Every structure is written in C-alpha cells, then in structure tokens.
Amino acid sequence: MKRRDFLYLSGIGATALMLPGLPSLGNPVDQAAALEYVDVKIKKELADAALNTAKAKGASYADVRIGRYFNQAIITRENRVQNIGSGESYGVGIRVIANGCWGFAATNLMTKEGMAATAAKAVAVAKANAKIGGKPVELAPQKGYGEVSWKTPIEKNAFEVPIKEKVDLLLNANGIATAAGASFVNSSIFAVNEQKYFASTDGSYIDQDIHRIYPNFTISKVDRELGVFETIRGSSSPKGLGYEYLTPSDSEKVTGVVTRYKNRYDLLEDIKQMSRVASEKVMAKSVEPGKYDLVLDPSHLWLTIHESVGHPTELDRVLGYEANFAGTSFLTLDKWRSKNFHFGSEHVNIVGDKLQYGSLGAVGYDDEGVKCGKWDIIKDGVLVNYQAIRDQAHIIGLNASQGCCYAQSWSDVQFQRMPNVSLQPGKTPLSVDEMIKNVKKGIYIIGDGSFSIDQQRYNFQFGGQMFYEIKDGKIAGMLNDVAYQANTQEFWNSCVAVCDEKDYRLGGSFNDGKGQPSQSSAVSHGSSTARFNGVNVINTKRKIG
Amino acid sequence: MPILSKEEAQALLKKVLSYSKAEECEASLFGSEGGNIRYALNAVSTAGDISTTGLSVTSAYGKKSASANIDEFDDAALERVVRRSEELAQLAPENPEREEMPGPATFKEAITYNPKTAAMTPDTRADLVAKSLDVTKKAGLSAAGFLENSTTFSAVMNSKGFFAYNKGTNVIFSVTTRNDAGTASGYAARGFTDVSKLDTESATRIATMKANASIGARALEPGKYTVILEPVAATYLLENMFRFDARSADEGRSFLSKKGGGTRLGEQLMDEKVTIYSDPFDPDLPASTWGRDGLPREKTVWIDKGVVKTLSYNRYYAKKKGVAPQAGPENIIMMGGNTSLEEMIKSTEKGILVSRLWYIRMVDPQVLLLTGLTRDGTFYIENGEIKFPVKNFRFNESPVIMLNNLEALGKPERSISVESYRSYMIPPMKVRDFTFSSLSDAV
C-alpha cells in the first residue's frame, strides 16, 4: 500500500490525500513521486460519496469531475529568465439535476465529507433556481461505460523534462534572434497536464490523462529614429502533444517562402528565419487597399475557421444561450433544416473532430462522459450539422450527444465547447506553388494576427503575421498594414481551391474564451492552404499627433 | 476556509514561511467565495456556488528565484510547495532584474469590502434574477443574463517582514434582451462593491427599451461620424489604453514612445478635457491600497488635462533609471464634464449614438489602433434628435486619436468592461471623426 493510500484509508481525510509534486522539476527525488497519479480506487470512492449524496438529496442525475491540473510556464526575454512558474490544482466539481434544473458546486476539500457537503450544495442551488421556472432539462440518453481510461498518446512527458533543458533551449533561441538583429525577444514554453476523473449516475467511471504544450516567441524590431516598431511571432502552434513536439523532424516541415511545421517544431531554425522576416517586415511597403485574391496558409486560416465556422456552429449560440456575452449565430436552425444553406462553395468541407492526433481538443470522453468522435458540419458547402452536448442533442434530432462538453477546471461548470473544427484538404492534387501560379493580383498571408468578428458572426476582420504580394503568379515582396474584411458566407463562397493533404496542418488556440464566467479551452483547427477570390483588403496604418 | 481573516491569513503565512530554507521567501494567499447564475431564453441555464483558496510561494537565492502554487493546506502540502519553489529557484538561471523582497510596510485599510454582498446566497441571487425576468416576460422579450457575486481576499508575507492583507466584494450583472424574430437587441450592465445598489429591474428595463427601439435598423454608409459613446461603450474601448508603462515606452514599443527615443512623458497627447487618475479611496470604485509588488496604491494622475503626467516603473526599472518606483493603476477614473447625454444628442447635427461595443482587438499597438463593432442599440442622430436605429458598424479607431477629437464629456459612472468585467469610472463622451470601416448584419 502506498503511503497516501494508507493515510486516506486511515480516515485522516483531506490532509492525508497526499498529492505528488509537479512532475519532474529537475529534482531526481521529487521526480519519482511526481509521476504518481491519485489511485483510481480513491477517486471512485470519493465520486461515489458525491453521487450517493446527490441522489439521496433528490437529484435525478449527477456527475462528478475530480480534476488535478498541472501547469508549468517558463518565460524568458533576451538573455534572462523572467519567470519559472508551476501550478497544481486539485478539487471536484459536482453537477446535478434536481426539480428539472441544473445546479453546480465545487470544492477542494477532498474528503468523503467534502464530497457530500458539496453535492448537497449543488442540489440546493438547483432547487433554488427551479423556483424561477423554465423548461426542465432534457438529457440525451447516455449509457454508462463502467471503468475506462484514455491518455494523450505522448512520447515524452513535458513535466519529466528538466527545467534546465527548457531554459537552455529558450535562451539559445533568444541568442540567435539577438545576434540576428532583433531589438527584443521574448520566448516561453507552457505545458499543461489535466488528470481528470469523471463519474456519473449513468454508471461511468472515466479516468483520463491529457497533455498539451505551447512553445513560442515574439521578436520585436524597433527603429527609434523613424519611431516605428514591428513584432513577429514564431511559427509554432499549441499542440495536444508531449515534449516530442520540440524534437525537429524534416518530414514534419513544409518549405516555401518560410518554413512551417506540422507535428514537430524546430524552434532554433524558426527563430533564425523569423529574425530575418522581422527585419524585412519593418521595410515592407504599405498595402494599397482594394480587392485581392487571398492565399491563406493553415497557420493563418485556422483562426478564420475558428471565428467564422467554429463559433457560429456552436448549438448553444444558435439557440441563444450565449446571447448575453459572445452573442448568437447567423446559422439559425431554419438554415440547417432547409438542407440547402450554402455556407460555402463546393470546396468547403468542414468536420468536427475530437480524436485527431496532435490536436488540442483530442480526448477519449468529454466532460459529461460521452465517447468522442468525428462528424460533418459543412458538407460540399452546405450546413449539415452543429456541435451539441447532452441537454441540446434532442433539439437537432440527435439521440446522442456529439461529445462537446468541457470545463476549464474542476471549479467551473462544464458546457458546450468547440471540438477541433477543420477544413478538409482538396481531393485533387494541388500544391501551394501551383495555387499561387494562377493568382494575378493577390496576397499570401502566413500566421495569425489581429482578429475581430460580430456577435452573430457575419462581419469579420483579420490581420496576419506575414503578407506577401502576389503579382501575375509570382511572389513580389512583403507587404505591411494588411487586414481583410468580409462577410462569413460571402467569404467561404469565394473559396475556389484548397491544396491537397500534403499541405495539411493544425493551428490552434491555447486559450479560447467563452461563457460567463469566462472559461478557457484549447482547440485546434486544421486545413491546407486555401484560395479566396476578391476579398476586401484595408490598410490599417494610422498616426497619432 | 475560502475567506480568511487578517489574523488567520497571518498565522497560515507564518507557518508557510517557517518551512523556508531559502535566502528569501514570499508566500501569498488568495481566496474567493461566491456564486453565479446564468440565464437565457428567460430561464436559468447554469448556476454554481464556488469557493477556492490558493497559495503561491516564491523562493529566492540571490538573483535566482521561482514560484510554485498549490490549493491544499495540510502541513505536508505547505512544506511541499515551499520545497518545490526552492528546488525550482535553485535550478533557475540568475535573473539580473530580480529585486530583493520588500521589508515591513504599512498600508491604509481599504474600503473594498461590503458585508451585504458577502452575505449573498443562491436564493438572493435567484431573487435578483427573477426581478429581471419579470420585466422581460412582461415585455414579451427573451432575456439572457449573468449575475455573479464574489468575496475575495489576498494576503502576502515575506521573510523580510512584509505583510499585507485585503478583502473585497464585487457583484456584476448584465442582461441582453432580444425579440423572437431576432430583429431587436438591447443590453445593460452594472457592477458594484455593495449589492444594495444593484437594481436588476431598472437595468433590465433599460435593456428592454433599447431592444424595442432597435427594431427596423437601416443601413448607413460607413465613414467618419460624430459619435456619442455611452459609458459601457467608452469603457471597453478605453480599457485597452490604461497601461502607462515607462519601460515599453523607453524601449520604443508603445504608443507612449517618442520618435527618436524616450517617452512622451510631459507631452500633450490628448484633448485638454482628458484627465485620468487612480484612487483606491474613490467611494464608487474602491481598490486595494497595495499591490503584489509590495508598492502602495495612492491617488495617481496618469493623464492631466491631456498631458502624460505619470508613467509606471517597477522596482528594478526604477532603480535602473534612477527614479522612484511607481505602481501601475489598480483602478481607473476618468474625470467627466457637465454635458448630459441628452444635451450631447441635442447639440449633434449628424451623428451616431453607440450603446455598446463588441470584440475589440488590437490592430496596431504603435498607435493603439483597435477594431471592433457596435452592438445592442446603435442609433442615427440628426438635428439634435434620435431619428432611427441603424445597422451595426465595424470601427477601426485608436482611443488616443479619439481622445484628441473629444467634443464633450458627461458625468462618470461605474461601468464594467463587457469582456474583462473589470469596473471603471468613465463618463459618456461625444467624439468627432470616429472611423467606421464597414457594416455588419448582426443584431
């Protein structure tokens, strides 16, 4: 018997539920303990205590999420480390339905008594709210899976990698940028590990171990005489991977005007090329506003997909549940019911996918115990589906949830969150060079920049990191001050080609905000480079006195 | 457990520091207790009662330091988090910018805590929401809203004798009212330290009025317009400007950087009607009297009659530049004028009244160029009268340029940012030549 199991079973309670330290902070003594997980037997006992109390207090349904969340951040600028931080959070969130209404309560008092008191509080919250009235919650049926588990398929746990190795990598990268003429350089590595245990009155006990990583840098180039500065970010993406993401691999590189990366990233190579690009960006000519054909790299297009396809196809937005904050959606149910709403051109095929390797949204089961999968959202340009959770599935005629429920922590209530939403590659062979060759007057945009979209997702404006002018099928140099504005439906209908699967890559957001109180989630969006004709480009240059 | 008294926090922090073997150690505790109700389609959608407490420990050896956090409080956990921060600190490379931890200091007692707000329960929250729903149900509109109350505390102690404690309360409420046809939308938001000031019924009535008035919006050509920004709209736009940091300005990467080098301190950057300051003892917007950096928060004028008056310096950078450290703003109050919203409308020949802005993001940090959209009540004004509702606009504008084009200010009110939920004291304002760049079909 392990020490903490003994302490737990001896009834000492919360003070005894020893949790290991943050895995591998470089200390060999700490490391052995750090990679121990809380025994599932203990988690099951705690969960059952909560479920039993909830039922006894009158809940018709209850679920329990026991979460241990680890994070590590290493933040540097130029030749120094600004911060090394690590966080650990352990607690439980209990959600119930009582008198037809949801109630939720959370605590970090991890004893059977803590479970019972919190479950009772959740039932009290549900009953208080039921007095206000409204339609009773209708849950899609969900069979219990019994005791199951899932783990992100990582090769190297980022928390096992010594801090020194990470610091050395970042400072080495900063040195390359400084030597190449960067005025300032900031770099960081963030790593997250969610150890989540879900149990419900449906009979599921699901243990999951989820990993994410995000290395990045920003280079600033300042011209004090001219009083101007430019910044450029690295080409990495946040990923649902372990530290193996930082092991360069030639087969995971996409070459071109700059090198871009798939599921393995070469930080040192990238910071070298971006130092050169930053210098070019300061000298780049200001764009002439007007209509252009846009060639959008996956490192840029992911964000346009996220904002203009991902968010408007969230069923809770469509129904009005997000009206007070992020807004509603122009993709109303009548458009879906018509089976004939042309969201985009025939080249536009978009899927929801909770399983994709390397993606931020990949999990075995969502936060209400639903096994995850993949489905069409836009098929041959037509709106065919949304993203739903258990209490919404019946509204779109589904007899099961699509597994899109997530909470950022044990202390937050789970709700509908975007799965990975991705544009499928073109079915006929097409390279980026071939795509550019046919563009007469265009702009090739790489990397994501400024972004803004209205509360029903019609009108958007996007910037980028790098803008290359295309003249008569050739790249004619770098541009600056570029942003494009469009209407979502017009934009996706102007998509005339998508490159083939060889160019397919994932971009993503480590922190996508939604809800009240706002919660963060991590989500990826994949695509190959795509072409959009006749998009309105504005010049963003302004001056202050 | 979540909210510790000053004495309880002091005792716990002393215990944490007793485990320290580092040259310097700082422990900080924070806790939050409260709950929320989210409602939509005139019924509760989610609600919760949440309490959390956390501990962060920073250990330092010379110029090497690191921190670790935990939310467990048994003796073993306390010792573990201290050891972890020490192990991390020993592994950390030297940071030449690390300053020694501050010694003993005394701070004035803040006025941030209100017992009535702290005493809120699931039932009092449900009652406040029920009042809001009564209004929308009677008006035949659908409401989506959010009510959240919280009591928070923070306490910091270090091995050099520094100790500080603060406790505060906050309640925020916002509501969006829409019609079934999706052609009307109105909004109101409120934030207070004292819940007895919160009137969810009257706020919802305003949102309802805006929604009904917004039906039948017409399209106007985008371009430069005189705009009247209500406080909720102005707050969200200006929030992006409230960083008055000396270092980024010196480094040439801020809107406060001077061409050729240096900062714009002392320069007239905006219209002389603009005065922006912080004051922890503002009765409508109280704030903590100290910050995590160990520096006091006192009344500080950042922009004085349009002139950049003060920039913030952390302790390292202050020493490097040979100036006194100056903490950044803990709260923001923009002085107002005597023009009421009605008078602003009356004096406008042709303009746009903006109720709320949405999805504001930075386009160009050099000039603080922002983009975003109007939302939930945008109206055309002609010859001193509101003529009709208009379709929403996207704007591309800089708050610095905007505050150069200022025509009139009203009385400041406590407004919450619709994205960060932070509270500010901001007046309604009338501004000329505000740049709308395209139209949106969104309602």
**Chain segment A290-305, per-residue pLDDT in tens:** 999 999 999 999 999 9
Cβ pair B252:A183 closer than 8 A: yes
Local structure of residue A308 (DSSP, 8 states): I
Cβ pair A320:B142 closer than 8 A: yes
Average pLDDT, integer, range A495-506: 98
Are A308 and A160 in the same domain? no
In this structure, is residue A259 part of a structural domain? no
Measured distance CA(A66)–CA(A39) in Å, rounded: 12
Which of B72, B78, B99, B85 lies closest to B25, judged by CA? B85
Among the partner residues A85, A220, A543, nearest to B253 by beta-carbon distance: A220
Other Cβ atoms within 10 Å of B127 Cβ, number: 15
The region, left, alpha or beta by phi > 0 then psi within -120 to 50, assigned to residue A167 is alpha
Average pLDDT, integer, range B373-385: 98
Are B374 and B310 in the same domain? no
Look at chain A and count its residues.
545
Strand order across the beta sheet in which B413-416 lies: B307-308, B300-304, B276-278, B333-334, B423-426, B413-416
Average pLDDT, integer, range B57-62: 96
Are B321 and B400 in the same domain? no
In this structure, is residue A430 part of a structural domain? yes
pLDDT of residue A119 exceeding 90: yes
Average pLDDT, integer, range B260-289: 97
Other Cβ atoms within 10 Å of A433 Cβ, number: 11
Is the separation of the CB atoms in B298 and B288 below 8 Å? no
Which chain A residues are closer than 8 Å to B44 by Cβ? 101-102, 129, 132, 134
Which chain B residues are closer than 8 Å to A22 by Cβ? 68, 84
Other Cβ atoms within 10 Å of B387 Cβ, number: 12
Residue showing tokens 């329960």:
B121
pLDDT of residue B280 exceeding 50: yes
Q: How confident is the model at residue A89 (pLDDT cuts 50, 70, 90)?
A: confident
Q: Provide the pLDDT for residue B93.
A: 85
Are B121 and B235 in the same domain? no
Q: How confident is the model at residue A36 (pLDDT cuts 50, 70, 90)?
A: low
Q: Provide the pLDDT for residue A6.
A: 27
Q: Provide the pLDDT for residue A30.
A: 35
In this structure, is residue B33 part of a structural domain? yes
Cβ pair B373:A455 closer than 8 A: yes
Best to test chain A binding among B70, B124, B150, B264 (most A CBs inside 10 Å): B70
Average pLDDT, integer, range A226-236: 92
Cβ pair B71:A332 closer than 8 A: no
Cβ pair B47:A220 closer than 8 A: no
Other Cβ atoms within 10 Å of B419 Cβ, number: 17
In this structure, is residue B224 part of a structural domain? yes
| B320: Cβ contacts below 8 Å, ≥ 6 apart | none
Which chain A residues are closer than 8 Å to B178 by Cβ? 320, 323, 328
- Mind spelling out the 3-state secondary structure of B352-414? EEEEEEEEEEEEECCCCEEEEEEEEEEEEEECCEEEEEECCEEEEECHHHHCCCEEEECCCEE
Q: Provide the pLDDT for residue A291.
A: 98
In this structure, is residue A309 part of a structural domain? yes
Question: Which of B331, B347, B370 is the C-terminal boundary of a domain?
Answer: B331
pLDDT of residue A24 exceeding 60: no
**Chain segment A433-479, per-residue pLDDT in tens:** 999 999 999 999 999 999 999 999 999 999 999 999 999 999 999 99
- Mind spelling out the 3-state secondary structure of chain B? CCCCCHHHHHHHHHHHHHCCCCCEEEEEEEEEEEEEEEEECCEEEEEEEEEEEEEEEEEEECCEEEEEEECCCCHHHHHHHHHHHHHHHHHCCCCCCCCCCCCCCCCCCCCCCCHHHHCCCHHHHHHHHHHHHHHHHHHCCEEEEEEEEEEEEEEEEECCCCEEEEEEEEEEEEEEEECCCCCCEEEEEEEECCHHHCCHHHHHHHHHHHHHHCCCCECCCCCEEEEEECHHHHHHHHHHHCCCEHHHHHCCCCCCECCCCCECCCCECCCCCCCEEECCCCCCCCCCCECCCCCECCCEEEEECCEECCCEECHHHHHHHCCCCECCCCCCEECCCCCCHHHHHHCCCEEEEEEEEEEEEEEECCCCEEEEEEEEEEEEEECCEEEEEECCEEEEECHHHHCCCEEEECCCEEEECCCCCCEEEECCEEEEEEEEEEECCCC
Question: Which of B285, B316, B331 is the C-terminal boundary of a domain?
Answer: B331
In this structure, is residue B1 part of a structural domain? no
Query: How far away is chain A from the Cα of B234, in angstroms, using its nearest Cα?
Result: 17
Structure tokens at B227: 């705009």
Measured distance CA(B403)–CA(B334) in Å, rounded: 12
Window 480-539 of A, Cβ < 8 Å to B: 481, 483, 485, 487, 515-518, 536, 538
Measured distance CA(B354)–CA(B358) in Å, rounded: 11
pLDDT of residue A31 exceeding 80: no
Which chain A residues are closer than 8 Å to B124 by Cβ? none
Cβ pair A540:B396 closer than 8 A: yes
pLDDT of residue A16 exceeding 70: no
Are B366 and B426 in the same domain? yes
**Chain segment B85-115, per-residue pLDDT in tens:** 999 899 888 889 999 999 999 999 999 999 9
Window 129-188 of A, Cβ < 8 Å to B: 129, 131-135, 162-164, 167, 171, 183-184
In this structure, is residue A222 part of a structural domain? no
Cβ pair A544:B404 closer than 8 A: yes
Rounded to 10 deg, the angle between the B75-91 and A163-179 helix axes is 40
What is the share, in percent, of chain B residues with pLDDT greater than 90? Answer: 90
Are B196 and B261 in the same domain? no
Q: Across the A/B interface, how many CB contacts are shorter than 8 Å?
A: 304
Is the separation of the CB atoms in A424 and A531 below 8 Å? no
Rounded to 10 deg, the angle between the B200-213 and B122-139 helix axes is 30
Question: CB distance from B181 to chain A under 8 Å?
Answer: no
Is the separation of the CB atoms in A18 and B76 below 8 Å? yes
Largest CA distance in chain A: 77
The CATH number for B46's domain is: 3.30.2290.10
Is the separation of the CB atoms in A215 and A332 below 8 Å? no
| B118: Cβ contacts below 8 Å, ≥ 6 apart | B3, B151, B169
Which chain A residues are closer than 8 Å to B401 by Cβ? 542, 544
pLDDT of residue B339 exceeding 50: yes
Are A197 and A324 in the same domain? no
Measured distance CA(B251)–CA(B271) in Å, rounded: 26
Structural domain boundaries, residue A103: 3-168+187-212
Question: CB distance from B219 to chain A under 8 Å?
Answer: no
Among the partner residues A26, A171, A324, nearest to B145 by beta-carbon distance: A324
Q: Provide the pLDDT for residue A34.
A: 41
Are B61 and B130 in the same domain? yes
Among the partner residues B87, B255, B437, nearest to A544 by beta-carbon distance: B255
Cβ pair A91:B144 closer than 8 A: no
Cβ pair A183:B361 closer than 8 A: no
Are B206 and B92 in the same domain? yes
Are B262 and B228 in the same domain? no
- Considering A3-17, A34-48, A417-431, the range whose residues carry the highest mean pLDDT is A417-431
Query: How far away is chain A from the Cα of B1, in angstroms, using its nearest Cα?
Result: 9
Query: How far away is chain B from the Cα of A416, in angstroms, using its nearest Cα?
Result: 12
Best to test chain B binding among A6, A8, A83, A84 (most B CBs inside 10 Å): A84
Which chain A residues are closer than 8 Å to B371 by Cβ? 450, 452, 461, 483
Rounded to 10 deg, the angle between the A163-179 and A267-283 helix axes is 30
Least confident of A249-263, B49-63, B155-169, B306-320: B49-63
In this structure, is residue B102 part of a structural domain? yes
Which of A233, A218, A187, A216 lies closest to A447, judged by CA? A233
Best to test chain B binding among A27, A68, A101, A125 (most B CBs inside 10 Å): A125
Please state whether the predicted TM-score (pTM) of the whole model is above 0.80.
yes
**Chain segment A363-418, per-residue pLDDT in tens:** 999 999 999 999 999 999 999 999 999 999 999 999 999 999 999 999 999 999 99
Are B232 and B249 in the same domain? no
The count of domains in chain A is: 2
What is the share, in percent, of chain A residues with pLDDT greater than 70? Answer: 93
**Chain segment B4-31, per-residue pLDDT in tens:** 999 999 999 999 999 999 999 999 999 9
Measured distance CA(A184)–CA(B253) in Å, rounded: 10
User: Residue A414 phi/psi, 5° resolution?
Assistant: -75, 150
Exposed, middle or buried, A287 (CB in 10 Å: 0-12/13-18/19+)? buried
In this structure, is residue B21 part of a structural domain? yes
**Chain segment B153-177, per-residue pLDDT in tens:** 999 999 999 999 999 999 999 999 9
Is the separation of the CB atoms in B406 and A422 below 8 Å? no
Are B178 and B127 in the same domain? yes
Window 331-390 of A, Cβ < 8 Å to B: 332
Structural domain boundaries, residue B163: 6-211
Are A529 and A404 in the same domain? yes
pLDDT of residue A4 exceeding 60: no
Least confident of A8-22, A305-319, A386-400, A504-518: A8-22
Cβ pair B371:A228 closer than 8 A: no
In this structure, is residue B38 part of a structural domain? yes
Q: Is A181 helix (H, G, I), strand (E, B) or coil?
A: coil
pLDDT of residue B242 exceeding 90: yes
Question: Which of A212, A247, A277 is the C-terminal boundary of a domain?
Answer: A212
Among the partner residues A103, A184, A224, nearest to B47 by beta-carbon distance: A103
In this structure, is residue A156 part of a structural domain? yes
Cα A127-A130-A134 angle, rounded to 5 deg? 165
Cα B380-B385-B391 angle, rounded to 5 deg? 15
In this structure, is residue A444 part of a structural domain? yes
Question: CB distance from A114 to chain B under 8 Å?
Answer: no
Are A337 and A485 in the same domain? yes
Q: Provide the pLDDT for residue A108.
A: 84
The average confidence (pLDDT) of chain B is 95
Query: How far away is chain A from the Cα of B401, in angstroms, using its nearest Cα?
Result: 6
What is the share, in percent, of chain A residues with pLDDT greater than 90? Answer: 85
Best to test chain A binding among B29, B41, B46 (most A CBs inside 10 Å): B46
Rounded to 10 deg, the angle between the B6-18 and B75-91 helix axes is 60
The count of domains in chain B is: 3
Measured distance CA(A470)–CA(A433) in Å, rounded: 11
Measured distance CA(B195)–CA(A253) in Å, rounded: 57
Q: Determine what percent of chain A falls in helix, strand and coil, rounding each to the nearest 5.
A: 25, 35, 35
Among the partner residues A91, A134, A162, nearest to B71 by beta-carbon distance: A91
In this structure, is residue A182 part of a structural domain? no
The CATH number for A119's domain is: 3.30.2290.10
Best to test chain A binding among B272, B355, B359, B437 (most A CBs inside 10 Å): B359
pLDDT of residue A42 exceeding 60: yes
In this structure, is residue B143 part of a structural domain? yes
Q: Provide the pLDDT for residue A13.
A: 25
Query: How far away is chain B from the Cα of A207, in angstroms, using its nearest Cα?
Result: 21
Q: Provide the pLDDT for residue A227.
A: 84
Best to test chain A binding among B33, B38, B419 (most A CBs inside 10 Å): B38
Residue of chain B whose Cα is closest to the Cα of A392? B45
Local structure of residue A288 (DSSP, 8 states): P
Cβ pair A108:B52 closer than 8 A: yes
Among the partner residues B53, B129, B373, nearest to A459 by beta-carbon distance: B373
Give exposure, A34-53, as e/b (b: 16+ Cβ within 10 Å). beeebebebbbebbebbbbb
Are B173 and B69 in the same domain? yes
Are B377 and B310 in the same domain? no
In this structure, is residue A359 part of a structural domain? yes
Least confident of A45-49, A176-180, B119-123: B119-123
In this structure, is residue B354 part of a structural domain? yes
Cβ pair B440:A454 closer than 8 A: yes
Cβ pair B176:A323 closer than 8 A: yes
**Beta pairing partners, A296:** A445, A530
pLDDT of residue B45 exceeding 90: no
Return the amino acid letter for A300: H
Question: CB distance from B93 to chain A under 8 Å?
Answer: yes
Rounded to 10 deg, the angle between the A40-56 and A112-130 helix axes is 40
Least confident of A211-220, A226-235, B427-436: A226-235
Structure tokens at B194: 């004292």
